[in-house]
Amino acid sequence: MIGNAIYKGKVNKMTTAAVKITRKGQVTIPKEIREKLKTDVVYFEVEDDTVIVKPVGDVAGCLEKYAANIKQGVSLRLVKEKAWEVAVGEKTGKKSS
């Protein structure tokens, strides 16, 4: 659905969609919205009962600098998850937990 939203006195085109959440907690972002995001990585912000999905700029190559910090015996999966979290945090301006 395309509508208009007024933000700071300016009329903006707004796209909305209702989608089903699967048993695995997955949703499909409609094509029209994916095209507007212009990325395949998104960042979720949750405030009370509102969820905001923001596009994350290119994070390719951001994980490379963490490769040197891999400790012996640490799961590669855990290292990748933490590195990804930090890289996305840097791109969105949010600190990792």
Q: Where are the domains of the chain?
A: 21-92
Rounded to two decimals, what is the model's pTM? 0.50
d(CA 74, CA 84): 16
Residue numbers in the chain where pLDDT is lower than 50:
2, 4-7
- pLDDT at position 78, please? 75
- pLDDT at position 44, please? 86
Residue where the block lists tokens 């799961």? 75
- pLDDT at position 95, please? 63
